[in-house]
Chains A and B, each alone.
Chain A
């Protein structure tokens, strides 16, 4: 099982770097990150990354569907899904392998932003704990975004449509906070608890809550499950 997942992961990861998509996405992301980081640093004069973390989350919301949109739709367009689904691989192995492929690109992107805390540590005395929880939160949030994007990619063989669907779902999940606030009361609180970004704020503030961790992990799990179901169901129709 691990061998099969690793095979798919390796193909997915190398394929992303073979196309220009990964490079363009990473470059755009780093450009924005650098811009936000400099602005925040010069305007606040604080060795603090909370502003950067807040803005990177929104940036990645736009970027994640671009990374995932071709993942499954391209397989269908080329007909390579016919190979995968008639090979000894199982659908969950394929989906998890592909997910880990895009997730690895996200990890690369996060590692590349490592220069910013490095700069902060050189010029000032930032709080290490805050930076750690911020990064953990950002990683989890991105992981959740990517699972949504992957699910969207399973819905269409047109990667543009897959990208738009993914972006639409993510935007909807983002706006859910406002809906919750507008409704208020118990229901409002419940809706707010489903918000991806709401829980992320806790990480930026340095609050590490296992329920938040579990939320993101189960969120990813649920969307990967949806993706497996979608791919599986199409074989029947």
Chain B
């Protein structure tokens, strides 16, 4: 339904997105995930035809967004990050304007808009000025606007950003209701949102595609095992070496902190199906290095995401994730 082939968008000298390719099947809800500034909005703007791509090709329902712009744009309902609403109009006027633009026949217009308003829950503000609406309502009006004309494709850029928790839940429920009727791309930098709604996830970082998979496969693919966070009061070098010798330990890093707590917090990555907690505490007790705290947790999707970005990041030599890695490594070598 939506197809991106090697899409690159550069702004002058600055990088936008580089060589993005993926496909979205009919009726699918795709999560488009990445940290802020990863290039999500840029990619969506290329898909919707707001920005022409520097190179590469986007087709929506078979229409090229650049070559057959009018036809392609007719397939899309788009909710940008900031809902594009005229503050001097009432909700009704705004939606009627959009209905005219989208060529909803005049005879069906009222019925169509009433249905959408009902569905999105804006009937009680239908005759109010958009200027006076809360952020949550504006977001809903934006969503209603994207639904006008019943386009086969919906593209929603951070639909829950800036909303309070109750509004977020309501918007998510709305999006869930859209399942099956439309092909949807939802961008977000919040993982749980995406994993709840989407069958498939595209992850983007620093303008490049990092992974395309189902949320389950992503977490499975990356779940090499458990993680154990442990605070140990002892000579760093020896503790570090001893931890390394424990069977089943894959990777150790020191969590950088400077809050004056005794000991150091070690983040231990454990191989699959191994529980090192017993061995760990015995080893430390033997060496008389007290364990001040220990917790283990399965990697949540959040961690998977963070790791995904971090892992792929090494090859790209970039940004915030690498500086975080540096800090960890630095912490180890300083003390060693």
Residues of A participating in the B interface, judged by any CB pair closer than 8 Å: 3-4, 7, 10-11, 15, 18-19, 78-90, 235-237
Give the residue of A79, A89, A235 whose beta carbon is less than 8 angstroms from that of B52: A235
Tell me if B103 counts as interface (CB < 8 A to partner A): yes
CA of A84 to CA of B98 in the docked complex: distance in angstroms?
Answer: 9
Closest Cβ of chain B to A67, distance in Å, is: 15
6 CB contacts below 8 A, A to B, read A82-B80, A88-B74, A89-B101, A235-B51, A235-B52, A237-B11
Complex CA distance for A11 and B89, rounded to whole angstroms: 9
A47 shortest CB reach to chain B, Å:
43
**Mask: chain B, 42-82; 1 = CB below 8 Å from A; 0 = not:** 00010011111000000000000000011001101010101
The 9 A-B residue pairs with the shortest CB-CB distance in the complex, in nearest-first order = A83-B84, A86-B48, A80-B84, A7-B100, A79-B82, A82-B80, A88-B73, A79-B84, A18-B88
- Residues 76-98 of B, flagged 1 when their CB comes within 8 A of A and 0 if not, give 10101011111111000000011
User: Which of B49, B87, B88, B102 lies in contact with A85, CB distance below 8 A?
Assistant: B49
- Assess whether A11 is in contact with B103, with CB atoms less than 8 Å apart: no
Contact partners of B145 in chain A: CB under 8 A = 83
Q: Are B78 and A83 in contact (CB under 8 A)?
A: yes
A15-B88, A78-B84, A79-B84 as given contacts; A86 in contact with B97, CB under 8 Å: no
Chain A residues within 8 Å of B50, by CB: 82, 85-86, 235
Q: Are B86 and A80 in contact (CB under 8 A)?
A: yes
Q: Which residues of A contact B85 (CB under 8 A)?
A: 78, 80
Judged by a CB distance under 8 angstroms, whether B262 is at the interface is no
CB distance B70 to A236 under 8 Å? no
Contact A88 B51 (CB under 8 A): no
CB distance from A120 to the nearest CB of B (A): 39
Please measure, in the bound complex, the distance between the C-alpha atom of A235 and the C-alpha atom of B49, giving whole angstroms. Answer: 9
* Interface assignment of B315: CB less than 8 Å from any CB of chain A: no
A78 B102 Cβ-Cβ under 8 A: no
Interface membership of B260, Cβ < 8 A: no
Known: A79-B83, A84-B84, A87-B98. 15 other contacts (CB 8 A): A3-B103, A7-B100, A7-B101, A15-B89, A82-B50, A82-B78, A86-B49, A86-B76, A87-B101, A88-B74, A88-B103, A89-B101, A90-B69, A90-B70, A236-B52
A150 CB, nearest partner CB in chain B, Å: 18
| Given known contacts A86-B50, A88-B102, A15 and B86 CB-to-CB distance under 8 angstroms | yes
Task: Report whether A82 and B84 are in contact in the complex, using a CB–CB cutoff of 8 Å.
Answer: yes
Q: CA of A90 to CA of B72 in the docked complex: distance in angstroms?
A: 12
Least CB distance from B52 to A in Å reads 6
Nearest B residue to A94 by beta-carbon distance?
B101
Least CB distance from B144 to A in Å reads 13
Shortest beta-carbon distance from B79 to chain A in Å = 9
Interface centre among A81, A82, A83, A89 (most CB of B within 10 A): A83
Q: Which chain B residues lie closer than 8 Å to A89 at the CB level?
A: 101
B73 close to A87 (CB less than 8 A): yes
- With A80-B85, A83-B84, A86-B78 as known contacts, state yes or no: A236 contacts B51, CB within 8 Å: yes
By a CB distance below 8 angstroms, the chain B residues around A79 are 80, 82-84
A-contacting residues, B100-123, CB 8 Å:
100-103
Given A83-B145, A86-B78, CB of A78 within 8 Å of CB of B87: yes
**B165 at interface by CB-CB < 8 Å:** no
- Assembly CA distance A4 to B100 (angstroms): 8
**Residue B319 is within 8 A (CB to CB) of chain A in the complex:** no
Q: Within residues 12 to 53 of chain B, which ones have a CB less than 8 A from any CB in chain A?
A: 12, 45, 48-52
Residues from chain B with a CB closer than 8 A to the CB of A10 are 100
Residues in B whose Cβ lies below 8 Å from that of A18: 88-89
A96 to chain B, nearest CB (A): 15
B5 to chain A, nearest CB (A): 19
A1 to B303 alpha-carbon distance, docked (Å) = 51
Do A78 and B86 touch across chains, with their CB atoms under 8 A apart? yes
Interface centre among B73, B78, B84, B97 (most CB of A within 10 A): B84
| CB-nearest residue of chain B to A83 | B84
In this complex, what residue of B is CB-closest to A77? B87
Q: Is the CB of A7 within 8 A of B97?
A: yes
Map CB proximity to A onto B235-260 as digits: 1 under 8 Å, 0 otherwise. 00000000000000000000000000
Cβ contacts under 8 Å, B69 to chain A: 90
Using Cβ atoms and an 8 Å threshold, which residues of chain A touch B51? 235-236
Given contacts A86-B49, A86-B76, contact A19 B97 (CB under 8 A): no
CA distance A84 to B101 in the complex (A): 9
A18 to B86, CA, bound (A): 11
